[in-house]
Copies of this chain bind each other. A is one copy, B any other.
Amino acid sequence: LLLSSYEDRLAPGCPQVQLGFRYEARDRRFTVYVMQLSNCSALCLPTDQKMYVRVAVLPCVEATRCLFRTRSSPPRDAVEFNEVFGMQISHSALRQKTLRVDVCDTGKSGHEECLAGAQISLADVSCSEEKCTKWYNLLSRVYLPETHVS
């Protein structure tokens, strides 16, 4: 079992992602740790599709790599990824960014489909060398404001 606390068992319905962050001022390096997913059954992933996590540091500047994807996994209720992504960025620039973390699959059409995600403002990301780890609720894309308006 990845989760075992009393409250987690009481509230099994909410898909979550566990992330870690670290900003190293000396190397101007921002690191994102995609640790694990839980309660993915609630996402109703297609059983014939593999799932993965997409991480984007936004808005993206052209010269920098800001989009990362984990390996794919068969759809399961809980998945450990333990993957690490890093980018070089100044602390003041980072504090203007927002991190989008989405659970995606490659649909039948071959296009990337994002089913649910978390969005984390980096306005108060700290400069401590310690890794800060947290669970974030994943919100289904059906609740996002429509991206293409009429």
Contacts and interface: CB of A to CB of B under 8 A. Distances in A.
Interface residues of A, number: 48
Nearest to A143: B58
Given A124-B135, A137-B123, A139-B119, A149 B107 contact: yes
Oligomer copy total: 2
Q: Is the interface of A mostly helix, strand, loop or mixed?
A: mixed
Nearest to A113: B149
B146 A147 contact: yes
Contacts of A144: 100, 144-145, 147
Interface string A57-90: 0110000000000000000000000000000000
Given A14-B95, A14-B96, A123-B135, 16 more contacts: A11-B93, A13-B96, A98-B118, A98-B139, A100-B139, A109-B149, A113-B149, A114-B145, A119-B139, A123-B137, A124-B135, A141-B145, A142-B147, A144-B147, A145-B147, A146-B148
